[in-house]
Amino acid sequence: MTRVLVLNGPNLSRLGTREPDVYGATTYDELVGICTAEGAALGLEVEVRQTDDEAELVHWLHEAADTSTPVVLNPAAFTHYSYAVRDAIALRTAPLVEVHLSNPAAREEFRHTSVVAAVATGTIAGFGVDSYRLALRALAAS
């Protein structure tokens, strides 16, 4: 069974209460359940993690690179400015799919630029929690 890390950046632990008109009503715990269930249905062993700490996220990306583990990554605010996260993704040795619940291109202008997109395998955005499902399906098919 292929192991997949689903990594989430800052404020995603606040899902369900943080701007539900933008991010939906699904809680973080529900997102974890959705990802693990979708993964199991696809024959993937999914581990979901969340951090508000940039250094911890970089460490997890190094771990994934060192073990050739595919990643679904919602870098959240780090998307727009974290060259440390970008450089850690560039070290990847397996597919990495960048995901976003909302569509950053349809939001504030500062969200229009992703410094990580160029080093990700692909990006899925704007489909709420289905963005994660679609990313897991893409990894299962790769």
Which domain, by its residues, includes 89?
A: 2-141
Residue 136 assigned to a binding site: no
Q: Which comes out higher in pLDDT, residue 55 or 23?
A: 55
* Type of residue numbered 66: D
Q: Give the CATH number for residue 19.
A: 3.40.50.9100
CA–CA separation, 67 and 128 (whole Å): 29
Active site residue ranges? 23, 100
Overall domain count for the chain = 1
Residue 80 assigned to a binding site: yes
The predicted-structure confidence for 82-107, as pLDDT tens digits, reads as follows 999 999 999 999 999 999 987 776 56
Average pLDDT, integer, range 130-137: 97
Residues forming beta bridges with residue 9, ordered by sequence position: none
CA–CA separation, 28 and 26 (whole Å): 7
Beta strands in the chain (DSSP E): 2-8, 44-50, 71-74, 96-100, 122-125
Residue 66 assigned to a binding site: no
Q: Are 77 and 10 in contact (CB under 8 A)?
A: yes
The predicted-structure confidence for 15-48, as pLDDT tens digits, reads as follows 777 766 655 678 899 999 999 999 999 999 999 9
